[in-house]
A = this chain, B = another copy of it.
Amino acid sequence: MAPPSEVDEAIEVLSRTPGLLERWLEGLSEPWLSAREGEGTYSPLDVVAHLTDNEDVDWMPRLELVLEHGESRPFTPFDREGFRRRFDGWPLERLLARFATTRRANLDRLEALALRAPDLDRTGMHPAFGRVTVRQLLAGWVVHDLTHVAQIARVLAKRYRDAVGPWREYMGVLGDREPERR
């Protein structure tokens, strides 16, 4: 069997994120779901709302924009606080279901494009970075999921930062950087 292509490999990870969040977070009590590292940072619930928001307008729509218009139409900047209005009051279960549906639809579109190596080299215009390739965009989508999975683990862990006592020095996650918000 041939090794997975770059696109297939990305889809492997992207397709699993909604399910892992569901198994991890559904049914967790409020102190866990609303834990935060500080004012203006994301709780685990916020992360899921952010991913749901992001899934509508960020990676896949941008990828399609590049394929259609190249560098002539820069991406619309993403509002990283937009989810707070859009999904205000949505419970976790509703967000997870919405995220899973949108992700599935996006991956169906991605698969239907049947991208080949030259497509991955095509370029678009990021509002802050300038020229970016489809290959970078696809990798960015994957790593964006993973950075937020790591963020949830870190935010949950930090509730017990003091509670672990001397184990603190063994627990790398407690020393991780302060929060990203993207």
Contacts and interface: CB of A to CB of B under 8 A. Distances in A.
A158 to B, nearest CB: 9
B180 A172 contact: yes
Interface string A123-139: 00010011011011001
Given A12-B29, A163-B135, A176 B174 contact: no
A129 B167 contact: yes
User: What DSSP secondary structure best describes chain A's contact surface?
Assistant: helix
Contacts of A179: 172
A19 B25 CA distance: 11
Interface of A: 3-4, 9, 12-13, 16, 19-20, 22-24, 27-29, 31-32, 126, 129-130, 132-133, 135-136, 139-140, 142-144, 146-147, 149-151, 153-154, 156-157, 160, 163-167, 170-177, 179-180, 182
